[in-house]
Amino acid sequence: MTESGPLGTFLQARRARLRPADVGLRDLGPRRRVAGLRREEVAQLAGVSVSYYARLEQGLSRGASAEVLGAIARALQLDAPEREHLDRLAGAARHTPRLRRPRPEKLADETRDLLRAVDGVPAIVLGRRTDVLAWNALGHALLAGHLDLLGPDDPARRPNMTRILFLDPHCRELYTNWTRKARAVVGNLRIAVGRHPDDPLLAELIGELTMKSPEFVALWADHRVEPCDAASYDLHHPVVGSVTVTQQTLSVARSPDQALIVCTTPAGSSSEEALALLRQVTDDRTPHANSADVSKEPTRQF
C-alpha cells in the first residue's frame, strides 16, 4: 500500500500506461518527464479540475460521484472489469475500514454435491483468497498431486493456489507458459482486493508474496485487473506429459465469493486421452474420489 491508498495507486498505474497519442493529445516527445499521461491531461480529458483529480489520486478526496468516476474511466480508457474495480475502490474509500479477522470459509453441502457431480473432470473449489476449499481426486492429481489430498479439509492447512503458483517449484513447472498463468491469477487477485479491501488474511497473503516473490511484485505493480473466467493452458504434467486444458470458472450461487474451477479438454483429443490415463492412475492410487469425503488426518501440506 502507498499513502495515496488503493484508489490512488490504481489511477496512477492506469495513467502511466497511456501515451498522449493514445487519447488524441499532442506528444511532446523526449521533453516529457513522466511515464504516460500527466495528471492535468487526465483532468482535462475527464472535464474535472486538476486540483480535484490530484486530491483523488492522493487519497484526499473520497466523495467522487458516479458521473465523475465515469468520466475518469473514459479518460483512462478502462475496460469493463477495470471500471467495476474503480467503482469498488471508490466505494471502499468512502468508508472507515473494519479490521476484524474473518472466519474460515465453509463449503456448503450443495457445493460438495456439485463437486461430486463433476467427478469425471478435474475440478477444485476456491475461496475468495484462492484457498482450496475442496478438490476432487482428478483435480488434485492434475494441478497439485504432490500435495496432501486431504489438505482442504483442515482450514489451518488449506493450500492456496496463488501461493503455490509463485512459491512451489512443482506448480511453476506445471504451466508451460507460467508467466501467462501468473498474470491472470494476479489480475483476478486484484479484483478480490477491490471487493474485500479490509480482509486481513488477503492482505497477509499479498504481503507474503511481496516479500518472497520478485515476479509477484512486478505483476502486482502493474495493477492489471483481469477476471479468470475461461482460458486454455498447456501443461507439462509429471505423470502423463503434455496436456492442454481449458480452465473454466463457474460461480457458486449460494457462496458468491467461491468459485468452481473445472478443467476440460476437446473431445477425442490427445489431452482427453491423457486425462483418462491420469484418472486410471488416480483411481488405482486413491481409495476416495473426493477430499471432502475423507476423514483421515492430513499428513503433508504446503
- pLDDT tens digits for 3-62? 567 888 888 888 888 888 888 777 655 566 666 888 888 888 888 888 888 888 887 766
Distance CA 262, CA 143 (A): 11
3-class SS of residue 123:
strand
Asked if 141 and 273 sit in the same domain, the reply is: yes
Asked if 144 and 47 sit in the same domain, the reply is: no
The pTM score is 0.71
Asked if 61 and 188 sit in the same domain, the reply is: no
**Lowest mean per-residue pLDDT among 22-36, 46-60, 166-180, 218-232:** 22-36
**Cβ pair 301, 147 in contact under 8 A:** yes
The alpha-helical segments, DSSP class H, found in the chain are 5-16, 39-46, 50-57, 66-75, 80-93, 109-117, 137-144, 161-167, 169-174, 178-195, 200-212, 214-221, 270-285
Asked if 201 and 132 sit in the same domain, the reply is: yes
pLDDT at 243 over 50: yes
- Picking from 64, 93, 122, the residue at the C-terminal end of a domain is 93
Residue 258: which domain range?
Answer: 109-293
**301 within some domain:** no
Asked if 85 and 168 sit in the same domain, the reply is: no
What mean pLDDT is predicted for residues 278-287? 80
Angle, helices 270-285 vs 137-144, to 10°: value is 110
